[in-house]
């Protein structure tokens, strides 16, 4: 050639393209990958999730088992609440003195306690009976403990005799005078019990039910009513007692 150049066949060759450089990225502690520290994070997350799932499964299993046990016990025992009725009351004295605020009383009651259960016996470990007038307690007696068998009715006979200071106030004195005129006094009798249950040879539980008996008791003298306006001609009416919640 005239210029001393090699023959290039008329093609144009530009500068050469350099090869891409290799870069290396070292994962930091904050990376989500599982490097040295990332693996620990993954392991912790996995373990925490497994523990939470295990706890949830245990709780659900316990709840189911307890529910089944309670249901089976209910099928076996078929428990029913004890039933209480005030069947008779004799009030021969009920006088209030405004001079010293003393209430003089003589009250005798008969209260039936019914155990309607077929398979459960009842131990009455404590039987405390209190009498109230105008929400003020004026006497308390304790009865002897006893055992009550299946489908059995027991008679409780507390007697309240004596005097006690109560503060009635103007409204209370007005109510007392009104009831004295009618010959019928509203007296609340409450039973505080401590009972245990017996099934076969097994004794279990310590429960403290509270029973409330709102009574309307006619005042009597020598076996007769002090007023012709007494309910049922001066005869006490049987009263169903309720659980005081």
Instruction: Quick: pLDDT tens for 68-82.
Output: 877 666 555 567 899
Q: What is the pLDDT of residue 25?
A: 53
Give domain status of residue 165, yes or no.
Answer: yes
Q: Which of 182, 167, 164 is nearest to 219 (CA)?
A: 182
At residue 143, φ and ψ (nearest 5 deg) are -95, 160
Q: Mean pLDDT across the stretch 185-195? A: 97
Q: Domain limits at 120? A: 83-223+236-243
- 211-220: buried (b, 16+ CB within 10 Å) or exposed (e) per residue? bebebbbbbb
225 pLDDT exceeds 70? no
**Residue 156 included in any domain:** yes
Q: Which CATH number do you get for residue 130?
A: 2.60.40
Among 28-32, 106-110, 177-181, name the one with the lowest average pLDDT: 28-32
Tell me whether strands 146-148 and 136-143 are parallel, antiparallel or unpaired.
unpaired
Instruction: For residue 117, tell me if it sits in a domain.
Output: yes
SS3 for 100? coil
The pLDDT value recorded for residue 119 is 87
* Whether residue 10 has pLDDT greater than 70: no
Task: Look at residue 7 and tell me if it is in a domain.
Answer: no
Distance between CA 159 and CA 89 in Å, rounded? 10
pLDDT at 88: 97
pTM of the model: 0.68
Q: Which residue has the higher pLDDT, 126 or 54?
A: 126
Q: Does residue 82 or residue 231 have the better pLDDT? A: 82
Total of domains in the chain: 1
Residue 102 within a domain: yes
Share of residues in the chain with pLDDT > 90 (%) = 55
* Confidence grade of residue 11 (pLDDT, cut at 50, 70, 90): low
Task: Please give the average per-residue pLDDT across 157-169, as a whole number.
Answer: 96
- What does 47-89 look like in DSSP terms, one character per residue? HHHHHHHHHHHHHHHHHHHHHHHHHHHHHHH-----EEEEEEE
pLDDT of residue 232: 45
What is the distance between the alpha carbons of residues 16 and 10, in angstroms, rounded to a whole number? 18
Asked whether residue 10 is domain-assigned, the answer is no
Residue 14 predicted with pLDDT over 50: yes
Q: Is residue 149 part of a domain?
A: yes
Sign of the torsion formed by the C-alpha atoms of 180, 183, 186 and 190: positive
pLDDT in tens, 85-143: 999 999 999 999 999 999 999 999 999 999 999 889 999 999 999 999 999 999 999 99
When mean pLDDT is compared across 3-7, 98-102, 118-122, 234-238, the lowest value belongs to: 3-7
pLDDT of residue 68: 81
Going by C-alpha positions, the residue among 89, 92, 127 that lies closest to residue 108 is 89
Q: Is residue 30 part of a domain?
A: no
Question: Of 223, 205, 195, which Cα lies nearest the Cα of 84?
Answer: 195
- pLDDT-derived band at 227 (thresholds 50, 70, 90) equals very low
Q: What tens digit of pLDDT does each residue of 139-157 get?
A: 999 999 999 999 999 999 9
């Amino acid at each position: 050639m005239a210029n001393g150049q090699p023959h290039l066949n008329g093609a144009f060759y530009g500068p050469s393209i350099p090869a891409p450089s290799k870069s290396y990225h070292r994962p930091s502690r904050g990376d989500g990958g599982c490097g040295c520290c990332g693996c620990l994070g993954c392991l912790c997350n996995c373990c925490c999730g497994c523990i939470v799932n295990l706890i949830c499964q245990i709780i659900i299993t316990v709840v189911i088992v307890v529910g089944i046990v309670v249901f089976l016990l209910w099928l076996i025992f078929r428990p029913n609440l004890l039933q209480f009725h005030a069947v008779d009351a004799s009030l021969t004295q009920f006088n209030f003195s405004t001079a010293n605020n003393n209430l003089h009383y003589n009250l005798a009651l008969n209260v039936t306690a019914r155990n309607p259960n077929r398979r459960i016996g009842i131990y009455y470990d404590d039987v405390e009976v209190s009498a109230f007038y105008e929400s003020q307690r004026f006497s308390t007696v304790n009865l002897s403990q006893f055992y009550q068998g299946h489908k059995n009715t027991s008679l409780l006979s507390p007697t309240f005799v004596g005097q006690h200071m109560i503060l009635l106030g103007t409204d209370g004195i007005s109510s007392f005078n009104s009831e004295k005129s009618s010959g019928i006094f509203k007296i609340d009798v409450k039973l505080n019990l401590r009972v245990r249950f017996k099934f076969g040879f097994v004794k279990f539980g310590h429960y403290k039910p509270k029973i409330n008996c709102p009574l309307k008791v006619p005042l009597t003298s020598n076996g007769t009513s002090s007023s012709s306006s007494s309910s049922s001609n001066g005869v006490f009416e049987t009263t169903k007692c309720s659980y005081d919640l």
